[in-house]
Amino acid sequence: MAERPNIVFFHVDNLGMGELGCYGGGILRGADTERIDRFASEGLKLSHYVVEPQCTPTRSALMTGRYPIRSGNHTIALGGNAGGLVAWEQTLGDILSEAGYATACYGKWHIGAEDGRWPTDHGFDEWYGPARTYDECLWPDDPHYDPERDGYSYMYEGRKGEGVRTLSDQQLNRDIKQNVDLEYTRRAFDFIKRNTEADRPFFLYYNHSLMHFPMIPREEFKGKSDNGDWGDCLLMLDHDFGELLDYLDELGIAGNTIVVFAGDNGAEDHMIGRGTAGFFDGSYFSSAEGGIRTPCLIRWPGKVATGRESDEMVHVTDMFTTLLGWVGCDAPQDRVIDGLDQGSFFLGEQGNSNREACIVWLNEELHAVKWNHFKISFKRQQHFHDPELPLGFARIIHLKEDPKEREPVNQQYVRWWVMQHAQRAIREFEESTKREALIPPGSPVGFVPETGESR
């Protein structure tokens, strides 16, 4: 095999479709995202990249190539460390590590916070990040919070085979949240340099803390935008990503490194850090397009054509299968994999995506089926704090006609013919659960799903 490419997956928290300049935001949001925008021109820009409505489901889908309802990770774990990936699941870290890649995860993992579920239990050589997520840095500010009674939140680090340790001198607070990406970058540079010098291919899973609230810009970015702390943080995100790209150039490895820049779900809805879905409507924790569509940019010099944009549908699970295929690895054959290989589409060898449909769950509820540019909704929730509304009849919308999902039907047409495509996607999913049972949320780490017709 020719020299295997490195992989950098730069995951951004709570990134709405209307934030970046290359997606219609940037200076309209008070911050010129010049580095990210330039990167968008250097490869493929996806405008129909579908994720899950929350961070835990998306991260599990990316790591396993499976709908998160299969792994029991279809909602974030609240009230403790329960939940996460069982040991049976095979992640990108597991498979790439077995193939000889050096692997590192920096930042939020959020798909397991106990022994057997950490990143270093799922193929990653090293990890540094919080046990769960960043709003826990606000706990000490709550007048009703008693840390002796209610517990502290810390940063953690671990190495494969050595376990994970609590960094007792790094309590997750506002200061840590403000500066944590500097530490992610420091560790990422060290990891990249070590493995470049060792001539070993690497997989860097870099999880930036932004745009997750609270928005606390580092000192050098304060007041640099036209949109307060939020805009300052968008500038900081742009800077940090640019630094990573510059380091790949400095080491002379950019040409042999696949870089993916992608969000994990739609925009924040709380006013403490509210984002925007831009052309679409909705927020995270909703099944609206604004909750499940986020930016995705892919660069692989000499392979992925530059300056290309596509509105063809790609699901986050497809990244699992495609990245493995690009480096000569096969997706597991002993379990249901929902991710499709989009390699030829991403490389420009074909104009169409290999995906025509995906299913949208919110928690354990089936909310919608997306088929091409149609969306067939069975329940409606536009924003995080909106009530979930069951619909008496399925609501069929063509997203090019009605991107903000305002009208229940197009009065000019009777489009019930679209239902057959939604029903087919649902039926195929239901048939797959007969071959392999869903893993219940909160299952013990050693749980193995039943498989086969005899179950």
Q: What is the pLDDT of residue 386?
A: 85
Q: Does residue 100 lie within any of the structural domains?
A: yes
Domain count, the chain: 2
- The answer on 141 and 47 residing in a single domain is yes
Q: Answer yes or no: are the C-beta atoms of 105 and 93 closer than 8 Å.
A: yes
pLDDT in tens, 314-371: 999 999 999 999 999 999 999 999 999 999 999 999 999 999 999 999 999 999 999 9
Statement to judge: residues 91 and 55 lie in one domain? yes
What's the pLDDT at 388? 79
Task: Dig out the tokens for 13 from the structure.
Answer: 């928290």
Together in a domain, 313 and 189: yes
Q: Domain span at residue 382? A: 357-435
Tell me whether residue 453 is in a domain.
no
Q: Which CATH number is 77's domain given?
A: 3.40.720.10
- Is residue 19 included in any domain, yes or no? yes
Q: Tell whether 321 and 260 lie within a shared domain.
A: yes
In a domain, 445, yes or no: no
Residues 73 and 180 in one domain: yes
Indicate whether 16 pLDDT > 90.
yes
**Alpha carbon distance 60, 57 (integer Å):** 5
Given the DSSP bridges, would you call strands 389-398 and 374-380 parallel, antiparallel or unpaired?
antiparallel
CATH classification of the domain holding 412 = 3.30.1120
Same domain (yes/no): 336, 388: no
Cα–Cα dist 205/94, whole Å = 13
300 with 416, same domain: the answer is no
pTM above 0.85?
yes
How far is residue 429 from each of residues 115, 252, 313, measured CA to CA in Å? 31, 45, 18
Please give the average per-residue pLDDT across 36-41, as a whole number: 98
Domain end (from 346, 381, 413): 346
298 in a structural domain: yes
